[in-house]
Copies of this chain bind each other. A is one copy, B any other.
Amino acid sequence: MQSIKVGLIGFGTVGSGTLHVLQRNQAEIRGRAGRGIEIAMIAARNAERAKTIQAQVGASIPVTADANELVNRADIDIVVELIGGMEPAKSLVLQAIANGKHVVTANKALLAVHGTEIFEAARAKGVVVAYEAAVAGGIPIIKALREGLAANRIQWLAGIINGTTNFILSEMRGKGLDFGTVLAEAQRLGYAEADPTFDIEGVDAAHKLTLMSAIAFGVPVQFDKAHIEGISKLQAADIKYAEQLGYRIKLLGVTRRRENGIELRVHPTLIPSTRLIANVEGAMNAVVVNGDAVGSTLFYGKGAGSEPTASAVVADLVDVTRLATADPDHRVPYLAFQPDAITNTPVLPIGDVQTAFYLRLVVADQAGVLARITTILAEHDISIDAVLQRESAEGERQTDVIILTHDTVEGRMTEALAKMQALATVLAPIVKLRKEELA
Q: Taking beta carbons and an 8 Å cutoff, which residues of A are in contact with B?
A: 17, 21-22, 24-25, 27-34, 132, 137-140, 143-144, 146-153, 218, 276, 279-280, 291-302, 307-308, 310-315, 317-319, 322-323, 325-327, 329-333, 336-338, 341
Q: Could you tell me if B132 and A314 are in contact, using CB atoms closer than 8 angstroms?
A: no
In the complex, what residues of B have CB within 8 A of residue A279's CB? 276, 279
How distant is A291 from chain B, measured CB to nearest CB, in Å? 7
A323 to B27, CA, bound (A): 26
In the complex, what residues of B have CB within 8 A of residue A293's CB? 17, 21, 25, 138, 307-308, 310-311, 314
A311 to B290, CA, bound (A): 12
A276 to B278, CA, bound (A): 10
A33 to B140, CA, bound (A): 20
Q: In the complex, which of the residues B149, B298, B333 contacts A315, with contact meaning CB atoms closer than 8 Å?
A: B149
Q: Could you tell me if A153 and B276 are in contact, using CB atoms closer than 8 angstroms?
A: no
In the complex, what residues of B have CB within 8 A of residue A152's CB? 21, 25, 28, 311
- Identify the closest chain B residue to A274 (Cβ): B279
Q: Could you tell me if B31 and A341 are in contact, using CB atoms closer than 8 angstroms?
A: yes
Q: Could you tell me if A322 and B311 are in contact, using CB atoms closer than 8 angstroms?
A: no
Q: Could you tell me if A330 and B322 are in contact, using CB atoms closer than 8 angstroms?
A: yes
How distant is A319 from chain B, measured CB to nearest CB, in Å? 7
Interface centre among A21, A147, A297, A299 (most CB of B within 10 A): A297
How distant is A146 from chain B, measured CB to nearest CB, in Å? 8
Q: Could you tell me if A33 and B138 are in contact, using CB atoms closer than 8 angstroms?
A: no
17 A–B contacts, CB within 8 A, in A order: A21-B152, A32-B150, A32-B336, A32-B341, A33-B150, A138-B291, A140-B297, A143-B144, A144-B148, A151-B310, A151-B312, A293-B310, A294-B307, A294-B308, A322-B329, A322-B332, A326-B326
Q: Could you tell me if A28 and B294 are in contact, using CB atoms closer than 8 angstroms?
A: no
Closest 3 CB pairs of A and B: A140-B148, A31-B341, A151-B314
Given the known interface contacts A24-B292, A326-B327, the answer about A318 and B150 at a Cβ–Cβ threshold of 8 Å is yes
A336 to B331, CA, bound (A): 18
How distant is A39 from chain B, measured CB to nearest CB, in Å? 14
Q: Could you tell me if B300 and A297 are in contact, using CB atoms closer than 8 angstroms?
A: yes
Interface centre among A150, A300, A326, A330 (most CB of B within 10 A): A150
